Structure 1
Amino acid sequence: MEVFAEYLAHIDNPQHRDRTEEVLAWVTRKFTNLKPKIAWNQPMFTDHDTFIIGFSVAKHHLAVAPESAGINHFSDEIVQAGYDHTKQLVRIRWDSPVDFSLLEKMIEFNILDKADCSTFWRK
């Protein structure tokens, strides 16, 4: 989690910082094969130098970015979890619980779907 320390330190709201740290720590523990890094001023995780998932903090939500393929694949489950989404990200409101089982499925999907991907982003 040291890689995310400076990012987390710049989150002013303590509840937002704690929630973000909780999610990043969970991903780090659950997916030890993924490389945590900061890119484009956002925490993210990669596998063989390809993007798997990224996170960013906004005023009203934690944004989760599994790329559009992940959004499309899990759109029904995202809505069932009570989250809204765009083509590229899921918004988890600060006052909503994190659905870690859905997060796990999105990460596992990207790991498998991008196993043979040789670029950072999907083409």
Structure 2
Amino acid sequence: MEVFNEYLDKIDDPLQKERLEHVLQWISDEFPQLGSKIAWNQPMFTDHETFIVGFSTAKAHLSVAPEKAAIEVFSERIGQAGYTHTPQLFRIPWKTPVDYELLRDLIAFNIEDKADCTTFWRA
């Protein structure tokens, strides 16, 4: 988690900082095998040097970027959780609860789906 400290320290809103810190810690606890890094100015998790999920903050929401394949598989559940999405990310409004079951399933999907992936991003 220390790798994320500098990023977290730049977040001015204490509630946003606390929310993102909790999400990042939860992922670290749930998936201790994942690597953590800052790349493209966002905190992200990797597995065998391939991208699993990344995050960024905006005024109104936390963006979760799991790549297009995961968005396609989970788009219905993302909508049911009350989140909006684009082809590459979904948005969790700051005042909306985090659906940790969705996040767990999405990360597990990416880990399994990319088990044989030899590139950072899906081809």
TM-score normalised to structure 1 length: 0.99
Matches within 5 A, 1:48-59: 48-59=48-59
Structure 1 partner of 2:11: 11
Q: Which residue identity lines up with residue 15 of structure 2 in the other structure?
A: Q
1:113 lines up with 2:102 in the alignment: no
Percentage identity across aligned positions? 63
Return the alpha-carbon distance in structure 2 between the equivalents of residues 100 and 2 of structure 1.
22
Structure 1 partner of 2:27: 27
Shift, 1:118, TM fit: 0.1
Return the alpha-carbon distance in structure 1 between the equivalents of residues 59 and 36 of structure 2.
23
Cα shift readout 1:4-44 (whole Å, capped 9, x = no counterpart): 00000000000000000000000011000100100011000
Q: Which residue identity lines up with residue 105 of structure 1 in the other structure?
A: D
Return the alpha-carbon distance in structure 2 between the equivalents of residues 75 and 41 of structure 1.
25
Give unmatched runs, 5+ long, in structure 1.
Answer: none
Matches within 5 A, 1:72-91: 72-91=72-91
Q: Which residue identity lines up with residue 89 of structure 1 in the other structure?
A: L
Q: How many residues align?
A: 123
Structure 2 partner of 1:67: 67
Shift, 1:89, TM fit: 0.3
Q: Which residue identity lines up with residue 46 of structure 1 in the other structure?
A: T
Return the alpha-carbon distance in structure 1 between the equivalents of residues 41 and 74 of structure 2.
26
Query: Helix, strand or coil: the match of 1:37?
Result: strand
Give unmatched runs, 5+ long, in structure 2.
Answer: none
Query: Helix, strand or coil: the match of 1:103?
Result: helix
Q: Which residue identity lines up with residue 31 of structure 1 in the other structure?
A: F
Structure 2 partner of 1:45: 45
